[in-house]
Amino acid sequence: MPENNNAPWWKPAFEIFGQVSAWVAVPIVTALIIGKWLDGRYGTKPWLFLGLSGVAFLISSFGIVRTVAVYMHQINPSTPSTGSGQAKKENDDSNKTK
């Protein structure tokens, strides 16, 4: 997110909202449409519908966490964007020098 002093103050919030909303809407709506179609085609009501809805929920959750982690890292670069434990190691190292 490059700094742009001419941009409105609310623009980053709408970018985050749009990306998170897309991670919710696209996988779930796609799973619902395809699940209903597959259930009708193979006579498996409601199992494929429910299974694909569960997979879509997992995909949405992963996408939301990933998107929020990227923005958190842009806001505070010292925050680790992955679960690598690097911040804990750095904290432990700084405590040893005291």
Give residue-wise pLDDT tens across range 60-82. 999 999 999 999 998 888 866 65
Tell me how many domains the chain contains: 1
Q: Work out the pLDDT band at 51, boundaries 50, 70, 90.
A: very high
What six digits make up the tokens of 56? 């879509």
The answer to whether residue 32 sits within a structural domain is yes
Structure confidence at residue 37 (pLDDT) = 96
- The Cα angle at residue 76 between residues 74 and 78, in degrees rounded to 5: 110
What residues make up the domain containing 74? Answer: 11-96
Ranking 21-35, 49-63, 79-93 by mean pLDDT, the lowest is 79-93
Backbone angles phi, psi at 82, to 5 degrees: -125, 170
CA–CA separation, 9 vs 94, rounded Å? 36
The answer to whether residue 71 sits within a structural domain is yes
The candidate with the shortest Cα–Cα distance to 75, out of 12, 22, 18, 21, is 12
Structure pTM? 0.70
